[in-house]
């Protein structure tokens, strides 16, 4: 899935780009439970992009990926809270 989903700044330190989460794609798109835990790079990217999640949820192209049941499972495994926007 190659979509341009945009990039924007939330803070001076975080460049919001949903494509930074591509290391999580295998765990999120897998029809079977994600490997426990998802690869370290995925969890690191989720933590890095956490300030951006509410903006990702407002993006109609990113929302189905970020707001899926599988994405929530991966967030839980990585101990990253689902955003309360």
pLDDT digits over 26-46, tens only? 888 877 765 555 688 999 999
pLDDT (0 to 100) of residue 49: 95
Extract the residue ranges of the chain whose pLDDT is less than 50: 1-12
| Domain membership flag for residue 44 | yes
Q: Which two tokens stand for residue 22?
A: 């591509």
pLDDT (0 to 100) of residue 27: 85
* Structural domain range at position 54: 37-80
| Domain membership flag for residue 61 | yes
- The domain total for the chain is 1
Of 79, 78, 82, 80, the C-alpha closest to 40 is 78
**d(Cα 85, Cα 82) in Å, to the nearest integer?**
9
Which phi-psi region, left, alpha or beta, contains residue 2 (left: φ > 0; alpha: ψ -120 to 50)?
beta
> Whole-model pTM?
0.75
pLDDT (0 to 100) of residue 37: 59
CA angle 10, 30, 41 (to 5 degrees): 45
């Amino acid at each position: 899935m190659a979509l341009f989903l945009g990039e924007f700044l939330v803070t001076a330190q975080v460049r919001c780009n949903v494509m930074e989460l591509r290391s999580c794609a295998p765990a999120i798109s897998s029809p079977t439970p994600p490997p426990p835990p998802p690869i370290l790079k995925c969890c690191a990217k989720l933590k890095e992009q956490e300030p951006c999640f509410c903006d990702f949820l407002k993006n109609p192209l990113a929302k189905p990926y970020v707001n899926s049941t599988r994405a929530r499972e991966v967030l839980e495994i990585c101990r990253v809270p689902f955003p309360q926007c």
